[in-house]
Chains A and B, each alone.
Chain A
Amino acid sequence: MEKQKTNFDFLTGLITIVIGIVYGIMSYMLKRSPMGNPLSPSIFPLILACGMVLFGIILLLRSDLETTKRAFAQIKATTTAKDKLSHQMIFATVAAAIIYAFLFERVGYVIATFLFMSFMLTITNGKKWLMNLLTSLIFSIVVYYVFSYLLGVILPKTPFLNI
């Protein structure tokens, strides 16, 4: 049996066209320039929008819905437990990063980073607590010290302790 082609080109083409149209409308809706050609801030974006729609259509015409459907089916069929684990790891990383962003300026660099790194290491390295906590502690303190004192980059201080 011939192996059937799978790709996401149909979907990619659709997304491209939608991005192109939305971006094109937004470009047209931009405020008019008070001087010179009133449309001048919009012209270049409008060209990009047209290009995006054009290439989206080309991609769409060169692919078909079935191939993309098959690609999704194939993913479902061939996803191993390990793949699922990697997806969960990515999801956990994104979630941790968002929390990290919220904590960063509120609890200071050292504490936020210590928490983030401990969590990340638990994800990748497993439950080797001593190793993980030690690495996170050293990383957050060393980076804080190097950036604030050696590189002159101001990182958020820890409240109360002011370090």
Chain B
Amino acid sequence: MEVLSLFFDGLLTAIQPYHLLLITFGGVLGTIVGMLPGLGPATGVAVLLPITFSMSPTAALITMAGVYYGAMFGGSRSSILINTPGDGAALAATFDGYPMAMNGKAESALAISAIASFIGGLISVVFLIALATPVAKFALKFGPAEYFLLMVAALSMTASMSKGNMVKGFIATLFGLMISTVGIDAQSGIPRFTFGILELQTGIDFLVVIIGLYALGEVFKAFKAINEGKKIPQKKFGRIWISKEEWQKTWLPILRSTPLGFVVGALPGAGGTMASLMAYNNEKQFSNNPDDFGKGEIVGLAAPEAANNAASVGAFIPMLTLGIPGSGTTAVMMGALLMLGIQPGPLLFTQHPDVAWGLIASMVIGNFVLAIVNIPMAGLLVRVLSVDAKILYPIVLGLAFVGTYAISSSVVDFFILIIFGVLGYFMDKIKIPTAPMILAVIVGGTMEQSFRQATRISNGSLGIFVESPLALALIAITVISVVYPAIKASLAKRKAKTV
């Protein structure tokens, strides 16, 4: 099998000592950022992206995979120990993880979260290996019209599934698309929305938008936590491992939650938050003692952790094969790829199979290394957390600025960074989700180009968007993604009224 040999080539590259060192290094840094209250994998990757500049694409990807996994592990640490999730996906880990730590079972909690994440991630990579090439091959059949509709479908799914309110999800998406139109129009050479500012002619770099929303915006939100006093985590641990009974209880839920997480993660917009919450609720329904959930039930920690990691791998399918990131974190990872001059999409697997499979292989290794690093070193890493968020938040800010400068070598981008940081804070206040906006900023350019290519082929007629069966199917998906949640919500409302 060609796929397997490519994957093993990737594995061989990833386990070179230099690359192992990079994964560990990235993983430890990612864990530290991920452990900071309020900062999750997206922020971790965004802030630590500049350390990969000047690395070769392979080395950079391997480091980022380490950071990504590190931040996910770090997020569950702070969920379990101080009841503060790093991001939405780590939220479910607080339900039973924190009560476990309170009941004196922090060791089991830390161990099972690492074990469940590891198993969930590993099995999902097998799914990914099986699915990536067929999906990429299928996507090669897409013409510009289908590609445009695919992005419309992905964005509308993201918008309609975003937490809170669907209308606000669409507003965020459209705003993100607007941001992507700033700069000189590639086809006509006409500057658009630059307000006469020279630096805006090259457009607003989506990495700056990401760093602004995630690093600055999240730190702004976290200021509140600083003022409310610090929660002191447990620092002394016994042997971090689980008992035989605990394993017997959790292995089946872990295996059940993995495919669920993977599928949910592969859908654009759903991502780790929804996957982990679904896994949690599922296991609660399967359980003989559903009342134990929320009081330190180990299954209630194992299932969402497995699902979360599985979802994070599943999210790589649309990102790598279609060039459409399904979540904030994969959007940042896609930013990292674009930064290295690699365009994710169907062609990635035919033109740069080494990069695609190298990334997938480094996910496996990253998962492995992080599980090893996190179990014995949890005590040490947690001590880093207690260093003091008050010192670490300014450092995150400092890194955000130097990272921005490294991207563009221009201080004009500092102002863009500040604007988006403040915007991120206010968007949270008025409850507009940021993830759809980021996805839109990233795919906006390609989306417009496909739209214009399609209309040029058809001489301006919009008929091209309804010509092929594939296009019609994509339109149907878009319509369903909008109508279904609306109907569901109104049904729920009616039900609530009659009760």
Show the binding face of A for B, using Cβ within 8 Å: 7-9, 11-12, 16, 19-20, 23, 26-27, 30-31, 33-37, 40-41, 43-45, 48, 51-52, 55-56, 58-59, 62, 82-83, 85-86, 89-90, 93-94, 97-98, 100-102, 104-105, 109, 113, 116-117, 120-121, 123-126, 131, 135, 139-140, 143, 146-147, 150-155
Contact = CB atoms under 8 A, between A and B. Distances in A.
Given A51-B174, A52-B178, A153 B406 contact: yes
A156 to B, nearest CB: 8
Contacts of A153: 50, 53-54, 405-406
B473 interface: no
B16 interface: no
A49 to B, nearest CB: 8
Contact of A59 (B168, B177, B224, B399): B168
The 5 closest A-B pairs by CB, nearest first: A120-B394, A33-B188, A101-B414, A8-B430, A125-B390
Contacts of A124: 223, 226, 390-391, 393-394
Interface stretch (B39-47, B108-116, B352-360, B448-456): B448-456
B171 interface: yes
Nearest to A61: B167
Given A52-B171, A86-B223, A153-B50, A125 B398 contact: no
B54 A151 contact: yes
19 contacts: A36-B456, A41-B185, A44-B448, A48-B177, A59-B167, A82-B228, A83-B224, A94-B418, A97-B401, A97-B417, A97-B418, A98-B418, A101-B418, A116-B401, A131-B391, A147-B406, A153-B53, A153-B54, A155-B402
Nearest to B448: A44
A143 B430 contact: no
Interface of B: 50-51, 53-54, 165, 167-168, 170-171, 174-175, 177-178, 181, 185, 187-188, 190, 192-193, 219-220, 223-224, 226-228, 388, 390-391, 393-395, 397-399, 401-402, 405-406, 409, 411, 414-415, 417-418, 421-422, 425, 429-432, 448, 451-452, 455-456, 460
A133 B113 CA distance: 38
Contacts of A105: 411
B190 A52 contact: no
A139 B397 CA distance: 12
B46 to A, nearest CB: 16
Contacts of A12: 168, 171, 430, 432
Which label, helix, strand, loop or mixed, suits the secondary structure of the A interface? helix
A127 B51 CA distance: 31
A155 B405 contact: yes
From A26, A93, A105, name the one whose CB has the most chain B CB atoms within 10 angstroms: A93
Given A27-B192, A89-B223, A93-B220, 16 more contacts: A11-B430, A12-B432, A26-B193, A35-B188, A36-B188, A43-B455, A86-B224, A94-B418, A117-B394, A117-B398, A120-B397, A120-B398, A121-B390, A124-B226, A125-B391, A147-B50
A94 B192 contact: no
Contacts of A143: 398-399, 402
A60 to B, nearest CB: 10
A125 B391 CA distance: 7
Contacts of A102: 411
B414 A97 contact: yes
A46 to B, nearest CB: 11
B181 A90 contact: no
Contacts of B174: 20, 48, 51-52, 55
A98 B216 CA distance: 13
B418 to A, nearest CB: 5
A86 B227 contact: yes
Contacts of A146: 51
Contacts of A120: 394, 397-398
Nearest to B388: A125
Nearest to A16: B171
Contacts of B425: 90
Nearest to B51: A151
Nearest to A97: B418
A37 B460 contact: yes
Contact of B405 (A55, A58, A85, A104): A104
A23 B32 CA distance: 41
Contacts of B171: 12, 16, 52, 55-56, 59
Given A52-B171, A101-B414, A116 B451 contact: no
A119 B452 CA distance: 49
A127 to B, nearest CB: 12
A127 B123 CA distance: 50
Contacts of B406: 147, 151, 153
Contacts of B190: 30-31, 33, 41
B448 A104 contact: no
Contacts of A94: 418, 421-422
A143 B224 CA distance: 27
Given A23-B178, A37-B460, A52-B171, A98 B193 contact: no
Contacts of A98: 415, 418
Contacts of A58: 167
Given A143-B402, A152-B53, A101 B415 contact: yes
B403 to A, nearest CB: 9
A37 B228 CA distance: 58
B391 A121 contact: yes
